[in-house]
């Protein structure tokens, strides 16, 4: 069997891989959504918002950080739980992006990853961001 | 304002020694370009001019960099860049890290390496290629130079601050001193094969570009790989999020050119030994450099920042970057489309079971991996116009790369036994028996260690078999020709080891979060852990926590994870402590430290006028302040002397009431002293503070039989075991060692051929 007589098999394999990649892409993409969508979509999503003042609380028992996000324009709120190290200058965050899935039982978004934007004190005009999780 | 006035205005904000050096480099680069293009047009005398201009250009870039470095060392905070990234307390060797901490400095270091690499390139690219290769190479450098002229690093502030803002503490790490510059050497090296390829296409001369570009391509692979390894190691040791690779756009931007480079060195090897892959190599060389440009565009232009996913902010160079990328892509596509058909190729007559076919397939697999990573990294752009744009995370990359890795392992396993001419399947299977036995033993070991996922077991079997068969080949080749022939197979052994390490450390890590009370041992999986003490800061050594770990076999050791607040940024920083063992790493990352409170017999209370607090059997009521307790307080305050204020308290029990007046003295400097008074039922009362605004007094009652239990300090940590993670590092070291051997060998070969060429022995 010569390799140049095998374009068919190769093509089929390539197509299969392309299909697999596309399916995986669709399945794993985490879209940016509004809070009401985050509550209804049964998948991992990203939400952004400001931290509601005095809403954060580190639960030592469960090793989890609980806080509330507020949508800047609509003033909607969303409770978030994040299990991990409390991000640096979390309280001063001007914007937080939480990537996770909504848990209907608990009525809150369980975040796998947080992205915290802080007004940077040493980066001058550049905004500083950090990824956690 | 006239254009001249504007120009002089601009100049007045620049630090001239640096800015002039930068402008000189632009001048010499243009001169070099002119010289080389005239030489290309047929004017032989211009070649020497172009060469001289290039050397002057490289010298100017060296001077530019030296000026910036000196400014950093002298801590000249007038310069905005120095102010932003340096500070008085920054130790000398971190001034290097400050050099490439910002956008401008990192473009400059990239340009510096690129310019220096051009110097040996002039000598080795071959006389007939020189005008085109050097001209195109200069064009790639000119792109970076334009960015720097636009984003001048020598901008001065209006006044000279006393101290800089300091370097991001995450970058104050020895790895950060060496990792970025090495990465930029790797990036700079990708433009060498690109220049060779475009020059070959331009001149329709495909005879020997592959031979000349080969050592450069290998060196680029080697350097980029080393930089990626260091970056992973830094992330693992310092960042404390628990891994070495996060599929972050910045990381992807470095791994895509590396994968394309991997495909290219295999293609060049094929072209050198069999005259095959001639067209593919030209495409791969173009893709390698273009992927670097695309990665730079993604991570530096702010297209992802829009998405608020990562920390890349548009500094006003996106337009320029887009233009650069666009022109290089357009030029590559144009040349490939119009000239590729002039490449002489032979018909592909390889049987499927031959080394040639397997290398083609492996190259396609590597290329596919580069493509899917590019797709993933570009997700925010690809989904930009959808209803909800999004991004993909590690799951995507792991999912799609897994089948590719499995297939690659199967190919790698067979490659050492295949010949160019083709083999019989039976023969290959027979030769693979010893390696497959090793693979089987590894798989059984995996099953015993509770690997149950069938895909993982297949992967493990193939990776171990590939490791073993390539190890056999390495030994065989080493016996025949020493390091000259064994490099490639040795790298494949490293790939096998590395892939097993990837699987074990990422899919089989175990993580537990636990809160430890100081001095109390706690069982965490099969380890007994005790938080023994908090170690305060000592000079540059940050606060750390001492945790004693006793292993199942009774042996014990101490670990010191760090958790501290950075002075400058007030950020909480966590540094893990990692212990490496034969089979796994123990990774201890601090989460939270609660210093606790000592036990106390002091009761405190803050009372307004008329407020009361029960003490012992009675009640204390705060009536008023006595401003005359030590001379007139108002007068004393105005004259700046010591002010004495008394707090008039009424102590009431069933037996009756009595007045007590503890005193509080303070001076204008804010020093305070309190004079306690005994309580009738035993114990004392003292004023510990006064709030003039609200008219409140803070009281402390001691020895009144009150007991507040203290709390012990606690430390919350994340304990993770990462099995076989050492295999990732060792695998990569071996890949690099193999590549270094091959680079050395190809360099020698290229030099021998060069010598023969100059002696006129062979036709070039």
What is this model's ipTM?
A: 0.79
DSSP states along B285-327: HHHHHHHHHHHHHHHHSSTTGGGTSSS----S-HHHHHHHHHH
Torsion angles phi and psi, residue B5, rounded to 5: -60, -40
Q: Among A38, A17, A55, A49, which Cα is nearest to A108's? A: A38
Closest CA of chain A from B145, distance in Å:
23
Is some CB atom of chain B closer than 8 A to the CB atom of A31?
A: yes
Residues of chain A in contact with residue B383, where contact means CB-CB under 8 angstroms, are 29, 31
pLDDT value of residue B314: 60
Per-residue tokens: B81: 């860049």
Local confidence band at A88 (pLDDT 50, 70, 90 cut-offs): low
Name the closest residue on chain A to residue B390, using Cα atoms. A31
pLDDT value of residue A128: 40
CA distance A58 to B439: 48
Task: Determine how β-strand B696-702 pairs with β-strand B618-626.
Answer: unpaired
Q: Which residue has the higher pLDDT, B605 or B145?
A: B145
CB B526 within 8 A of CB B753: no
CB B278 within 8 A of CB B271: yes
Facing A128 at nearest CB: one of B311, B348, B573: B311
Q: What is the DSSP letter of B156?
A: B
Asked whether residue B313 carries a pLDDT value surpassing 70, the answer given is no
Per-residue tokens: B585: 């790493």
CA distance B72 to B693: 49
CA distance B762 to B764: 6
Other Cβ atoms closer than 10 A to B186: 26
Asked whether residue B87 carries a pLDDT value surpassing 90, the answer given is no
Mutate to test the interface with A, among B390, B514, B515, B718 (most CBs of A within 10 A): B390
Per-residue tokens: B43: 């004017």
Q: Give the range with max mean pLDDT: A19-23, A110-114, B205-209.
A: A19-23
Residues B311, A127: C-beta atoms closer than 8 Å: yes
Helix, strand, coil share (%) of chain A residues, nearest 5: 25, 40, 40
pLDDT value of residue B538: 80
**Secondary structure class of B343 (helix, strand, coil):** coil
Residues B351, A2: C-beta atoms closer than 8 Å: yes
Facing A28 at nearest CB: one of B392, B569, B574: B392
Asked whether residue B567 carries a pLDDT value surpassing 80, the answer given is no
How many whole angstroms from its chain centre is CA B193? 26
Q: Return the number of CB contacts < 8 Å for A and B.
A: 135
Asked whether residue B256 carries a pLDDT value surpassing 50, the answer given is yes
Is some CB atom of chain B closer than 8 A to the CB atom of A17?
A: yes
Per-residue tokens: B209: 């570009």
Q: Which residue has the higher pLDDT, B280 or A129?
A: B280
pLDDT digits (tens, 9 = 90+) for B95-139: 888 998 888 999 999 999 999 999 999 988 888 899 999 999 999
Residues B400, A24: C-beta atoms closer than 8 Å: yes
Closest CA of chain B from A96, distance in Å:
9
Asked whether residue B668 carries a pLDDT value surpassing 80, the answer given is no
Residues of chain A in contact with residue B589, where contact means CB-CB under 8 angstroms, are 85
Per-residue tokens: B142: 């000119």
Q: Which residue has the higher pLDDT, B191 or B752?
A: B191
Q: Which residue has the higher pLDDT, B274 or B210?
A: B210
CB A93 within 8 A of CB A105: no
Closest CA of chain A from B684, distance in Å:
37
Per-residue tokens: B618: 């009675």
Residues B308, A129: C-beta atoms closer than 8 Å: yes
Percent of chain B with pLDDT over 70: 94
Asked whether residue B566 carries a pLDDT value surpassing 70, the answer given is no
Is some CB atom of chain B closer than 8 A to the CB atom of A77?
A: no
Q: Give the range with max mean pLDDT: A4-8, B155-159, B344-348, B452-456.
A: B452-456
Find the range with the poorest average confidence among A70-74, B335-339, B648-652. A70-74
Mean pLDDT (chain B) is 87
Asked whether residue B227 carries a pLDDT value surpassing 90, the answer given is yes
Local confidence band at B763 (pLDDT 50, 70, 90 cut-offs): very low
Local confidence band at B753 (pLDDT 50, 70, 90 cut-offs): confident
Closest CA of chain B from A51, distance in Å:
16
Which residues contact residue B515 at a Cβ distance below 8 angstroms, ignoring those fewer than 6 apart?
A: A60, A63, B714, B715, B716, B717
CB B651 within 8 A of CB B680: yes
Residue with tokens 């001691």: B702
CA distance B662 to B626: 10
Residues of chain B in contact with residue A46, where contact means CB-CB under 8 angstroms, are 390-391
Mutate to test the interface with A, among B79, B172, B571 (most CBs of A within 10 A): B571
Name the closest residue on chain B to residue A93, using Cα atoms. B571
Asked whether residue A20 carries a pLDDT value surpassing 90, the answer given is yes
Is some CB atom of chain B closer than 8 A to the CB atom of A101?
A: no
Domain map (residue ranges) of chain A: 1-29, 31-132
Asked whether residue B461 carries a pLDDT value surpassing 80, the answer given is yes
Burial of B648 from C-beta contacts in 10 A (0-12 / 13-18 / 19+): middle
Residue with tokens 């852990």: B529
Which residues contact residue B277 at a Cβ distance below 8 angstroms, ignoring those fewer than 6 apart?
A: B267, B268, B270, B271, B363
pLDDT value of residue B728: 93
How many whole angstroms from its chain centre is CA B745? 31
Mean pLDDT (chain A) is 77
Q: Among B462, B448, B444, which Cα is nearest to B503's? A: B462
Which residues contact residue B432 at a Cβ distance below 8 angstroms, ignoring those fewer than 6 apart?
A: B413, B414, B417, B465, B469
Asked whether residue B627 carries a pLDDT value surpassing 50, the answer given is yes
CA distance B81 to B99: 9
- Beta pairing partners, B559: B547
Local confidence band at B27 (pLDDT 50, 70, 90 cut-offs): very high
DSSP states along B500-511: HHHHHHHHS-EE
CB B290 within 8 A of CB B298: no
Mean pLDDT confidence for A38-49: 86
**Secondary structure class of B333 (helix, strand, coil):** helix
Mutate to test the interface with A, among B389, B421, B591 (most CBs of A within 10 A): B591
CA distance B200 to B332: 12
pLDDT digits (tens, 9 = 90+) for B691-722: 777 788 888 888 777 777 778 888 888 888 88
Helix, strand, coil share (%) of chain B residues, nearest 5: 55, 20, 25
DSSP states along B403-429: HHHHHHHHHHHHGGG--SS---HHHHH
Mutate to test the interface with B, among A1, A2, A16 (most CBs of B within 10 A): A2
Local confidence band at B762 (pLDDT 50, 70, 90 cut-offs): very low
Mutate to test the interface with B, among A40, A63, A96 (most CBs of B within 10 A): A63
End-to-end CA distance of chain B: 59
CATH architecture label of A31-132? Beta Barrel (2.40)
pLDDT value of residue A127: 37
Domain map (residue ranges) of chain B: 11-171, 514-596, 602-702
Mean pLDDT confidence for B288-292: 96
Mean pLDDT confidence for B162-185: 84
Residues B313, A126: C-beta atoms closer than 8 Å: yes
Residues B84, A123: C-beta atoms closer than 8 Å: yes
| C-alpha torsion angle, residues B255, B259, B260, B264 (rounded to 10) | 140
**Secondary structure class of B578 (helix, strand, coil):** strand
3-state secondary structure A72-84: CCCCCEEEEEECC
Residues A32, B313: C-beta atoms closer than 8 Å: no
Residues of chain A in contact with residue B360, where contact means CB-CB under 8 angstroms, are 3
Q: Which residue has the higher pLDDT, A94 or A103?
A: A103
CB B128 within 8 A of CB B764: yes
Local confidence band at B191 (pLDDT 50, 70, 90 cut-offs): very high
CA distance B691 to B185: 63
Name the closest residue on chain A to residue B103, using Cα atoms. A126
Mean pLDDT confidence for B474-490: 87
Asked whether residue A92 carries a pLDDT value surpassing 90, the answer given is no
Q: Among B256, B271, B302, B247, which Cα is nearest to B196's? A: B271
Other Cβ atoms closer than 10 A to B710: 11
Per-residue tokens: B755: 């010598």
Asked whether residue B362 carries a pLDDT value surpassing 90, the answer given is yes
CB B651 within 8 A of CB B658: yes
Closest CA of chain A from B554, distance in Å:
29
Facing A88 at nearest CB: one of B392, B393, B572: B572
CA distances from B105 to A123, B102, B309, B311, B480 (A): 14, 5, 23, 17, 48
**Secondary structure class of B129 (helix, strand, coil):** coil
Closest CA of chain B from A72, distance in Å:
15
Facing A20 at nearest CB: one of B400, B515, B590: B400
Facing B396 at nearest CB: one of A28, A46, A95: A28
Per-residue tokens: B543: 């606060």
Residues A95, B379: C-beta atoms closer than 8 Å: no
Q: Give the range with max mean pLDDT: B296-310, B340-354, B709-723.
A: B709-723
Local confidence band at B337 (pLDDT 50, 70, 90 cut-offs): very high
pLDDT value of residue B760: 54
End-to-end CA distance of chain A: 50
């Amino acid at each position: 069997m010569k390799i140049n007589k095998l374009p068919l098999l190769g093509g089929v394999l390539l197509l299969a891989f392309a299909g697999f990649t596309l399916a995986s892409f669709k399945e794993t993409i985490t879209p940016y959504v509004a809070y009401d969508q985050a509550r209804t979509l049964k998948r991992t999503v990203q939400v952004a918002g400001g931290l509601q003042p005095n809403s954060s609380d580190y639960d030592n028992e469960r090793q989890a950080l609980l806080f509330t996000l507020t949508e800047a324009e609509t003033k909607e709120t969303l409770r978030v739980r994040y299990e991990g190290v409390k991000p640096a200058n979390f309280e001063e965050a001007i914007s937080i992006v939480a990537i996770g899935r909504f848990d209907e039982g608990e009525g809150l978004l369980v975040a796998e990853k947080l992205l915290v934007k802080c007004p940077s004190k040493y980066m001058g005009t550049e905004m500083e961001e950090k990824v956690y999780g | 304002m006239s254009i001249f006035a504007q120009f002089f205005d601009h100049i007045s904000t620049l630090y001239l020694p640096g800015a002039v050096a930068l402008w000189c480099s632009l001048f010499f680069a243009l001169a070099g370009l002119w010289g080389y293009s005239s030489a290309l047009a047929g004017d032989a005398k211009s070649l020497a001019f172009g060469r001289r201009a290039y050397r002057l250009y490289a010298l100017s870039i060296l001077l530019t960099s030296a000026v910036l470095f000196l400014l950093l060392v002298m801590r000249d905070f007038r310069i905005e860049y120095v102010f932003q990234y340096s500070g008085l307390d920054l130790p000398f060797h971190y001034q290097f890290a400050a050099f490439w901490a910002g956008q401008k400095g990192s473009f400059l270091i990239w340009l510096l390496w690129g310019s220096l690499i051009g110097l040996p390139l002039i000598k080795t690219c071959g006389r007939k290629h020189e005008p085109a290769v050097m001209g195109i190479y200069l064009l790639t450098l000119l792109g970076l130079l334009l960015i720097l002229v636009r984003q001048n690093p020598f901008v001065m502030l209006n006044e000279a601050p006393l101290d800089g803002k300091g370097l991001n503490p995450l970058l104050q790490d020895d790895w950060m001193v060496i990792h970025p510059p090495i990465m930029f050497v790797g990036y700079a090296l990708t433009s060498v094969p690109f220049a060779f390829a475009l020059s070959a296409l331009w001149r329709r001369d495909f005879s020997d570009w592959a031979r000349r570009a080969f050592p450069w391509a290998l060196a680029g692979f080697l350097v980029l790989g080393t930089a990626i390894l260091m970056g992973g190691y830094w992330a693992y040791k310092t960042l404390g999020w628990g891994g070495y690779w996060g599929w972050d756009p910045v990381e992807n931007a470095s791994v895509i050119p590396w994968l394309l480079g991997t495909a290219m060195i295999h293609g060049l090897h094929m072209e050198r030994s069999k005259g095959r892959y001639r067209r593919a190599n030209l495409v791969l060389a173009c893709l390698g450099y273009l992927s670097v440009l695309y990665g730079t565009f993604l991570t530096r232009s702010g297209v992802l920042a829009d998405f608020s996913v990562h920390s890349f902010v548009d500094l006003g160079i996106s337009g320029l970057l887009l233009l650069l990328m666009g022109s290089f892509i357009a030029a590559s596509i144009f040349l490939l489309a119009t000239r590729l058909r002039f490449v002489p190729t032979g018909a592909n007559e390889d049987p499927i079971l031959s080394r040639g076919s397997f290398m083609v397939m492996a190259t396609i697999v590597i290329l596919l991996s580069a493509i899917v990573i590019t797709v993933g990294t570009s997700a925010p752009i690809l989904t930009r116009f959808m209803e909800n744009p999004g991004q993909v995370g590690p799951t995507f990359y792991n999912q799609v790369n897994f089948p590719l890795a499995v297939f690659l392992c199967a190919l790698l396993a067979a490659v050492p036994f295949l010949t160019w001419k083709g083999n019989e399947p039976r023969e290959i299977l027979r030769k693979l028996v010893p390696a497959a036995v090793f693979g089987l033993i590894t798989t059984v070991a995996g099953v015993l260690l509770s690997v149950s996922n069938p895909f993982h077991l297949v992967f493990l079997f193939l990776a171990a078999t590939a490791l073993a068969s390539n190890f056999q080949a390495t030994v065989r080749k080493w016996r025949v020709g020493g390091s000259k022939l064994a490099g490639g197979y040795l790298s494949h052994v490293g790939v096998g080891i590395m892939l097993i390490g990837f699987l074990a450390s990422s899919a089989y890590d175990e993580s537990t979060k636990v809160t430890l009370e100081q001095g109390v041992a706690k069982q965490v999986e099969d380890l007994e852990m005790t938080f023994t003490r908090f170690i305060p800061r000592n000079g540059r050594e940050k606060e750390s926590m001492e945790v004693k770990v006793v292993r199942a076999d009774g042996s014990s050791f101490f670990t010191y994870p760090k958790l501290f607040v950075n002075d400058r940024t007030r950020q909480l920083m966590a540094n893990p402590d990692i212990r490496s063992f034969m089979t796994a790493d123990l990774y201890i990352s601090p989460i939270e430290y609660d210093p606790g409170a000592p036990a106390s017999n002091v009761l405190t209370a803050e009372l307004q006028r008329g407020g009361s607090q029960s003490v012992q059997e009675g009640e204390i009521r705060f009536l008023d302040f006595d401003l005359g307790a030590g001379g007139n307080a108002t007068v004393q305050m105005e004259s700046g002397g010591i002010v004495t204020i008394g707090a008039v308290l009424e102590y009431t029990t069933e037996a009756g009431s009595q007045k007590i007046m503890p005193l509080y003295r303070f001076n204008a400097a804010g020093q305070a002293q309190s004079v306690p008074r005994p309580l009738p039922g035993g114990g004392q009362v003292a004023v510990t503070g006064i709030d003039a605004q609200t008219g409140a007094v803070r009281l402390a009652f001691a020895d009144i039989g009150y007991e507040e239990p203290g709390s012990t300090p606690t430390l919350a940590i994340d304990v993770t075991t990462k099995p076989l993670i050492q295999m990732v590092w060792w695998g990569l070291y071996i890949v690099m060692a193999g590549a270094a051997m091959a680079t050395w060998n190809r360099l020698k070969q290229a030099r021998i051929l060069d010598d023969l060429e100059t002696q006129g022995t062979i036709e070039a």
